[in-house]
Amino acid sequence: MAALLKKGNIASMFREAARLWQENVSELSEIDSRFGDGDHGVAMGKIAALTLSCLEEWNDESIKNFIEKLAAGTMSVGGGSAGPLYGTLIEGLSASLSDETEIDAQTLKAMLTGSRDAMFEVTKARRGDKTMMDAIIPAVEAAEAMEISQKADNISSILTAAAEAAQEGAENTTNMISKFGRARSYGDATLGTKDAGALSASLFFKGLAAASGKNQ
């Protein structure tokens, strides 16, 4: 794991997140079909393909510009609310950036905080509402809680903590009743089913953590 995240690291992180989304398209759609429109996997597949395309075109742009370009494209992805929501999540990562060519641990924490805060601006969903926020909020809180030490591998610790918290949050949605979207009308029947959005969000953080040390 690099002490600093460079452009190659960032590229690998997004590439791995895209790979995980593609790998789980069927499961995401199957889960969403139980109480939703059944298109979440398809939408995430489109976002994954867009991500990979943007990565292929990323040359001299700054990290901030790349993230903003990816966010803008994601916003327009059709297939329910996934495009606008993930576009917001991704765009929030760039809020604290200027022209950095490397990302340190403190900046990484600020990026994750920015992504969550951007989501707070567009959705009233919070922890316990059985949405993607059940993965995002605990992930960012776990990252924020990590202390930065001169002797520790801070970036690895931050991203691993975020990914683990996101996964736990997604798993916990199995025990929740849906309060947003089409699933809300099913009430108690949604108990026992994981939220598709929370799962795709947990895969995003898992991808970031898994690939952050790679420079490809």
pLDDT of residue 215 exceeding 80:
no
Least reliable range by pLDDT among 44-48, 116-120, 144-148 = 144-148
Question: Is 5-211 in CATH node 3.20.20.100?
Answer: no
Whole-number average pLDDT of the chain: 94
Structure tokens at 164: 């683990």
pLDDT score at 181: 87
43 vs 96: CA distance, rounded Å: 27
CB 107 within 8 A of CB 97: yes
pLDDT of residue 216 exceeding 90:
no
CB 49 within 8 A of CB 14: no
DSSP H helices in 58-104? 63-75, 82-92
**8-45 pLDDT, tens digit each:** 999 999 999 999 999 999 999 999 999 988 999 999 99
pLDDT of residue 116 exceeding 50:
yes
CB 109 within 8 A of CB 143: yes
**124-168 pLDDT, tens digit each:** 999 999 999 999 999 999 999 998 876 667 898 999 999 999 999
pLDDT score at 61: 93
CB 195 within 8 A of CB 134: yes
pLDDT score at 3: 78
- The closest alpha carbon to 67, from 16, 104, 120, 13, belongs to 13
